């Protein structure tokens, strides 16, 4: 099983940029063939305007519920390559973990479920639930073509729950089920003054410098108290009620644990909230990249022609993503320096997700974790964004079960990403239990169904 997973990780299936189309398709084709080998039916690539979606199903459990397993075979870009101990697409096992881009996010976690399905189909020959498998190739770039695909195949995808393992549990012995995820808005701002770079001896102090202009804009997106300085952005992000804060304080990571997991030095952010709260139920504005002017070693005497930055705005579970995107766009327009060319490009808009902790399917997932990990899970909130969870929940009216098998220090999206073999094996055991627990029924209690997805 580990060898198969290493093979899966070797595909450099990076979805950002436009250099990896062939790798994405090769990875998808290998995966479809693998699903066929497991004993799943109708394993196939389903085309979109972007990367193909891998689909398979097993619908032999008449009168039982249906679960849709969602995962993604695409991965984050691997740069900066120099910070990896071993190459990102030549995975290696050390210290009991698989190191490689996508080891945890999401190839390893998704693979645990596939191996659980295989365990049933290659022993008893059937499964305790009906299962649909949907593994897409554009999660890391915002699942651009997934929503339309789900809508198009709405009838054929009918399901009761959506099983997603694409996140982390707080500690190795503390499994967790996620009951909310933040939304996110991604955009890019570019500022240009001249046609080309100019001599800074001749023009330094004369021309408006686009890097300085960009820094001015970015600084004005943040208030002194660490809040986001975008008018109206907090209107649909009310403070949580005291009971919820107390529950979060009990089950969530402490500030010092979060800082240690990040191996970082300094915190920042909205005053008056714990790091766990800031990361999960509060909006946050974050610059993910900036560039402009000379990038090489030493000095180049120029007034740069142009500068640009990428902005990632994470949204509280209660927030409206389109509204937030509009407010951010308005604020950037308002801050745009006069006389310079300013271009704004919206790259991503993903609404948040909320799930009722009391839903019977959530209880079934909790029992599965208890069997697979030997510990009862806590219910946590996540700061991440899985656009697919919201899309499936909304269009198919099904309940997402967000059961991360990763760990907080797995370096998701960073260099030296890894996935613990122990988590992999316990994930498989949990998945086996999950299919059994779900097979016993997941009908929501009266009045809960409507609240399940928002």
- Residues 292-351 close enough to bind a copy of itself by CB under 8 A: 292-305, 307, 309-310, 312, 314, 337-341, 347-348
CA 241, CA 224: separation in Å to the nearest integer?
Answer: 25
**Options 63, 123, 125, 205; binder of a copy of itself; rule CB under 8 A:** 205
Is-cis flag, bond preceding 283, omega within 30?
no
Angle at 24 between CA 422 and CA 55, to 5 degrees: 75
Q: Which of residues 14-33 bind a copy of itself (CB under 8 A)?
A: 16-18
Q: Is 168 in the site for a copy of itself (CB under 8 A)?
A: yes
124 vs 57, 117, 121, 415, 441, CA distance in Å?
Answer: 17, 11, 6, 41, 20
- Interface residue with a copy of itself among 270, 320, 336, 375 (CB under 8 A) is 270
Beta-strand pair 130-136/53-58: antiparallel
Q: Which is nearer to a copy of itself, 310 or 371 (CB)?
A: 310
Size of the site for a copy of itself (CB under 8 A): 102
Cis peptide before 106 (omega within 30 of 0): yes
DSSP code of residue 406: B
Subset of 410-449 contacting a copy of itself (CB under 8 A): 411-416
One of 21, 77, 87, 439 touching a copy of itself (CB under 8 A): 77
Those residues with Cβ within 8 angstroms of residue 22's Cβ, 6 or more apart along the chain or in another chain: none
Q: Exactly one of 151, 288, 374, 440 binds a copy of itself (CB under 8 A); which one?
A: 288
Q: Which stretch binds a copy of itself (CB under 8 A): 13-21, 29-37, 327-335, 426-434?
A: 13-21
Pick one of 203, 239, 344, 421: the residue that binds a copy of itself (CB under 8 A): 203
Minimum distance, C-beta of residue 404 to a copy of itself, in the bound complex (Å) = 11
Q: Which two tokens stand for residue 296?
A: 């090489």
Nearer to a copy of itself, 12 or 360 (CB): 12
Which of 80, 125 has the CB closer to a copy of itself?
Answer: 80
In angstroms, give the least distance from the CB of 85 to a copy of itself.
11
CB nearer a copy of itself, residue 151 or residue 206: 206
Q: How far, in Å, are 34, 248, 274, 283, 433 from residue 254 at the CA level?
A: 41, 10, 8, 19, 30
Task: Give CA separation, 13 vs 8, 78, 136, 319, in Å.
Answer: 10, 10, 11, 32
CA atoms within 13 A on the CB side of 47: 1
Q: Where are the beta strands (DSSP E) in 301-396?
A: 302-303, 306-315, 341-350, 353-354, 378-382
- Answer yes or no whether residue 282 interacts with a copy of itself by CB under 8 A: yes
Q: How far is the CB of 6 from a copy of itself (least distance, A)?
A: 22
Q: Which two tokens stand for residue 90?
A: 């030549």
- Interactions with a copy of itself, residue window 206-265 (CB under 8 A): 206-209, 211-212, 214-216, 218-219, 222, 258-259, 262-265
Nearer to a copy of itself, 411 or 431 (CB): 411
Which residue, 23 or 385, is less far from a copy of itself as judged by CB?
Answer: 385
Query: How far, in Å, are 245, 329, 330, 346 from residue 236 at the CA level?
Result: 18, 17, 17, 21
Task: Name which of 131 and 214 has its Cβ closer to a copy of itself.
Answer: 214
* Cβ burial 199-214 (10 Å sphere, 16+ → b, else e): ebeebeeeeebbbebb
Binding mask of the shown chain, residues 94 to 123, with x at each position contacting a copy of itself by CB under 8 A = ------------------------------
Beta-bridged to residue 222, according to DSSP, are 228
Work out which of 13, 23, 66, 76 binds a copy of itself, going by CB under 8 A.
76
- Which residues in 382-401 contact a copy of itself (CB under 8 A)? 382-385
Considering the complex, state which of residue 196 and residue 447 has its C-beta at the smaller distance from a copy of itself. Answer: 196
Nearer to a copy of itself, 60 or 77 (CB): 77
Sorted by sequence, the CB contacts under 8 Å of residue 60 that are 6+ apart come out as: 126, 127, 130
Among 22, 47, 79, 173, interactor with a copy of itself by CB under 8 A: 79
Which residues, numbered 120-159, are part of the site for a copy of itself (CB under 8 A)? 140-142
Shortest Cβ 101–a copy of itself spacing (Å): 12
- Contact call for residue 49 and a copy of itself (CB under 8 A): no
Evaluate whether 41 touches 59 at the Cβ level (below 8 Å). yes
């Amino acid at each position: 099983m580990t060898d198969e997973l290493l093979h899966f990780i070797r595909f450099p299936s990076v979805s950002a940029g436009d250099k990896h189309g062939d790798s994405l398709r090769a990875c998808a084709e290998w995966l479809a063939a693998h699903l066929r080998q497991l004993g799943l039916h109708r394993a196939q690539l389903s085309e979109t305007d972007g990367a193909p979606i891998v689909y398979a199903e097993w619908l032999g459990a008449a009168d039982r519920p249906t679960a849709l397993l969602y995962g993604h075979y695409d991965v984050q870009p691997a740069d900066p390559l120099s910070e990896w101990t071993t190459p990102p697409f030549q995975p290696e096992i050390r210290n009991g973990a698989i190191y490689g881009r996508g080891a945890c996010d999401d190839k390893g976690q998704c693979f645990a479920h596939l191996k659980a399905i295989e365990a049933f189909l290659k022993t008893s020959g059937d499964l305790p639930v009906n299962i649909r498998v949907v593994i897409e190739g554009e999660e890391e770039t915002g699942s651009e073509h997934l929503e339309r695909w789900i809508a198009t195949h709405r009838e054929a995808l009918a399901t009761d729950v959506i099983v997603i393992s694409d996140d982390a549990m707080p500690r190795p012995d503390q499994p967790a089920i996620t009951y909310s995820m933040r939304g996110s808005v991604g955009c890019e701002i570019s500022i240009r003054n001249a046609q080309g770079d100019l001599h800074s001896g001749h023009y330094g102090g004369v021309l408006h410098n686009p890097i300085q202009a960009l820094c001015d804009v970015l600084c004005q997106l943040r208030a002194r108290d660490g809040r986001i300085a975008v008018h109206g952005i907090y209107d649909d992000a009310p403070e949580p009620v005291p009971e919820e804060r107390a529950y979060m304080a009990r089950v969530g990571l402490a500030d010092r644990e979060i800082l240690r997991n990040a191996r970082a030095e300094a915190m920042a952010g909205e005053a008056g909230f714990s790091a766990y709260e800031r990361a999960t139920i509060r909006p946050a504005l974050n610059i993910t990249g900036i560039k402009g002017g000379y990038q090489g070693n030493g000095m180049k005497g120029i007034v740069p022609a142009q500068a640009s930055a990428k902005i990632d705005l994470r949204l509280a579970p209660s927030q409206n993503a389109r509204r937030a995107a509009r407010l951010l766009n308005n604020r950037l327009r308002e801050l745009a320096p006069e006389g310079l060319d300013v271009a704004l490009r919206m790259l991503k808009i993903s609404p948040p997700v909320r799930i009722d902790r009391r839903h019977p399917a959530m209880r079934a997932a909790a029992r599965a974790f208890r069997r697979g990990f030997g510990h009862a899970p806590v219910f946590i909130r996540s700061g991440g964004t899985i656009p697919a969870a919201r899309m499936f929940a909304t269009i198919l009216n099904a309940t997402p079960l967000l059961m991360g098998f990763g760990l907080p220090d797995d370096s998701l999206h960073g260099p030296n990403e890894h996935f613990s073999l122990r988590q992999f094996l316990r994930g498989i055991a949990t998945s086996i239990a999950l299919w059994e627990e779900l097979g016993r029924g997941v009908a929501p209690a009266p009045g809960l169904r409507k609240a399940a997805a928002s």
